Each structure stands twice: as C-alpha cells, then as structure tokens.
Amino acid sequence: MPIPDADKDHLAAVVEERWLDFQGSLSDSGRRYPMREFKTFVQAVRNYIAKTEKDPLIHRKVVNVVNGLTDGLKATRKEVPGEVLAEADRLECLLFAGYDSYFEGDEPPGL
C-alpha cells in the first residue's frame, strides 16, 4: 500500500535538504571530501527508498537529485573517492531499477 502523499513529500524534502547540505560542503574549497555529509545524504535516500518501495511513483525532488548522481559527482571535483562513486551508482540502481548492484556475500552460485 502506498504511503500518504504528505509522508512521501516529507521524505523527499529530507532527501533534498541533505543533498543541499552535501552540495554546500562540496563548495568549501580546500576542504577534504565531505564524507559525513555524503553519508547523511545516502541515508536519507535509503530511508526514502525503504519507505516508498511499494509506491510505483518516485517523488520529483528525489528523481532530480539521484538521476545522474554518479556522473554529477565525477564532474564536481577532480578526485572523488571510489567509495562515493560506488555508493552513488548503488543508489541509482536501488531507486530506478529496484535492485542493489552490490553483491558482497549475496553472489549468485557460481560467481
């Protein structure tokens, strides 16, 4: 059963807010990569995905933030940690394709 629109709107607003916090941290030149802010953003997206998994529609705010996330992160800085790019790709797969691209420990037999 889909969650109420108000709840979905709130979850999407949290994702957008965490994204803006992360973007603000990225713009601080000379600062190390803002891993804490990125992980907070990732958790907000994962929370959105978990709570809306039965809903066939994705909130526009979340689509705007996650669509092209991996490529966008590559363009923001010269050096982006591999962990960040892997997690960004994973979020895109989870949100748009409905599967987790990370198989550690859950590999199909024979791999």
> What's the pLDDT at 2?
66
Please report the pLDDT score of residue 46 as a whole number: 95
Virtual CA dihedral for 82, 71, 15, 91, nearest 10 degrees? Answer: -60
pLDDT of residue 39: 97
Residue 110 confidence (pLDDT): 58
pLDDT in tens, the chain (111 residues): 668 888 999 999 999 999 999 999 988 767 789 999 999 999 999 999 999 988 889 999 999 999 999 999 999 888 899 999 999 999 999 999 877 766 555 555 555
DSSP string of 23-70, one letter each residue: HHHHHSTTPPP-HHHHHHHHHHHHHHHHHTTT-S---HHHHHHHTTHH
What is the C-alpha to C-alpha distance for residues 66 and 107, in angstroms, rounded to an integer?
26
Question: Domain spans of the chain?
Answer: 5-97
